Amino acid sequence: MMERPPGEREPDIEALLAEHLPGLRGFIRLRSGPMLRSLEETTDLVQSVCREILQHRDRFRFPDDDGFRRWLYTTALRKIGHRAKHYRAQKREAGRTISLEGAGAPAEELLNCYSRVCTPSQVVQAREQVSRIELAFDRLPDDYREVITLARIAGLSHAEIAVRMERSEAAVRTLLYRALERLSELLGEERDAD
């Protein structure tokens, strides 16, 4: 267990988790992909991430909200990866599907989180069909999904994303622009198909 320097106050982990909970739910739903979303409730993954953060609160120090957010979303990514690997290894079938209502987060809360990756007009159009965003998002290439969730949901800077994705900041900016443009196109196709 790491010792805190004298005079350093312990952060209020519960308050930070509560503040980041809506974003965490959206992040987990988007990064889980259709297979994992159909096999596990988002609420279970969110609770598992929060439990891990709370259990290990004394092991980590983070100087600010950005540090906490990085820790939270890194933990979430690791948890999603472990669960997806588990299901692939078990070759389990998606015997049940979980609707948006069963996802443990009200549609309005997910919509607020997803609004960071969509234009205001797209948010209005998606108010009754949040699943359209997820379906379009699932059709994006992996690097597009990653850059969008890191920039718009996790709130990482271009520099932080560049390090994580092993690209230059300029390449991250271009990738994010292209990813958002493609997501917009896919959402338009979904809307036109309705």
Give the tens place of pLDDT for each residue, 74-100. Answer: 899 999 999 988 887 776 444 444 444
Mean pLDDT of the chain: 79
Handedness of CA 115, 160, 166, 61 (dihedral sign): negative
- Cα(10)–Cα(58) distance, integer angstroms: 9
Q: Which residue has the higher pLDDT, 98 or 57?
A: 57
Q: Domains for the chain: give ranges and CATH numbers.
A: 1-105 (1.10.1740), 108-194 (1.20.140.160)
Q: Is 94 helix (H, G, I), strand (E, B) or coil?
A: coil
What interhelical angle do 42-55 and 65-90 show, nearest 10?
Answer: 130
pLDDT per position as a tens digit, 17-35: 889 998 899 899 889 888 8
Is residue 23 within 8 Å of residue 113, measured between CB atoms? yes
Task: Judge contact between 126 and 114, C-beta under 8 A.
Answer: yes
